[in-house]
Every structure is written in C-alpha cells, then in structure tokens.
Amino acid sequence: MTAPAEDHDGASLIAILDELASLVTEARQMPMSASVLVNRAEALDLIAAAKAVVPGEIQAADDVLTGAEDVLADARERAARILQEAEEQAERLVGQESVVEMARQRAEQVITAAEERAAQLARDANDYCDRQLAQFEIDLGAITKQVRAGRDRLATQDPTPEP
C-alpha cells in the first residue's frame, strides 16, 4: 500500500503523478473489460499529495511577486524621503542659488536611480515568475503525455481474460 499523503511532503508533483500512473498501470485487470482494480485509498492519497504540492509552488511564485512589490514600495518611500530632505535643505539654503541647484540635481539623480532599481527588481520578479510558469507548463505537458499514454495502453489491451 502507498504511504499516506503526509509522507509525500517535499515530493515533486511529477513524482507523485508518476506514482499514480504506476498504480493504474500495474493494477489488476477486470475480466472481459478494459477496467482495472485500483486501491481507492492509495489513489486518493496520491491525489491529495498532488493537490498539496501545487498550492505551495504557486504560493512561492506569489511570494516572489509580493516581495518585488514591497521592494518597489520601499524604494518609492525612500525616494520620497530623500526628495523631502533635499527640498528642506534647499529651503534652508535659498540664499545660495548654486547650492539649491546642486541639491535639486542630486535629488533627481537619487529618484532616477531608485526608480531604475525598482523597475529592474520588477523585471527580475516577472522573469522569475515567467520561468516558474514555463516550468509548470512543461510539467503539465509531461503529465498530460503520461495520462494519454496510460489511457491509450488501457484502450489497446485485450479485454479477454487469460485461461
């Protein structure tokens, strides 16, 4: 008998689905039928384990996106603080035009640098998510092939029992 779903913690979705496919392929065939006898508890344990793995992987991708959004918000907040500080300093130095101009230029440089960094972090997060989704797509394609192959194999098996 297959281990309970809890024993599949850390297993990949593909490994769990391979085990499920093996359970179906190795199941005893019903006489005069394309049907097989599958242990319901084993199959349900494997399905539960697969369901448990998928949300974790999706949550990891969501966490990456949330992290990127937090970094972007932090960068904007820091840029606003720096701009406010520059404006306050400029007000104190109103009488010295060149100092005010230098402060304004520096504030713009800091804001530009912060916005560029935030944009780069957002691009990196999007790239990571795209790579993760591409891997999910590959995994799902492999699963589809395995299911199709199992169904084809079941459909082509001789339904007559052996004497």
**In this predicted structure, what is the pLDDT of residue 107?**
93
Does a structural domain hold residue 122? yes
Does a structural domain hold residue 29? yes
Structural domain that includes position 132: 5-156
Three-state DSSP state, 162:
coil
Quick check: 57 pLDDT over 60? yes
Per-residue pLDDT tens over the stretch 63-102? 888 888 888 888 889 999 998 988 887 777 766 777 668 8
- Specify which residues 28 forms β-bridges with: 37
Element (H, E) at 46: helix 40-92
Does a structural domain hold residue 62? yes
Does a structural domain hold residue 71? yes
Tokens 């603080």 -> residue: 81
Q: Give the pTM.
A: 0.34
Mean pLDDT of 122-137: 90
Does a structural domain hold residue 161? no
**In this predicted structure, what is the pLDDT of residue 3?**
46
Does a structural domain hold residue 126? yes
Does a structural domain hold residue 46? yes
Q: What mean pLDDT is reported for the chain?
A: 83
Mean pLDDT of 124-130: 89
Between the alpha carbon of residue 95 and those of residues 22, 90, 98, 103, the distances in Å are: 82, 9, 9, 13
Does a structural domain hold residue 163? no
**In this predicted structure, what is the pLDDT of residue 113?**
92
What is the number of structural domains in the chain?
A: 1
The winner for highest mean pLDDT among 6-15, 26-35, 97-106 is 26-35
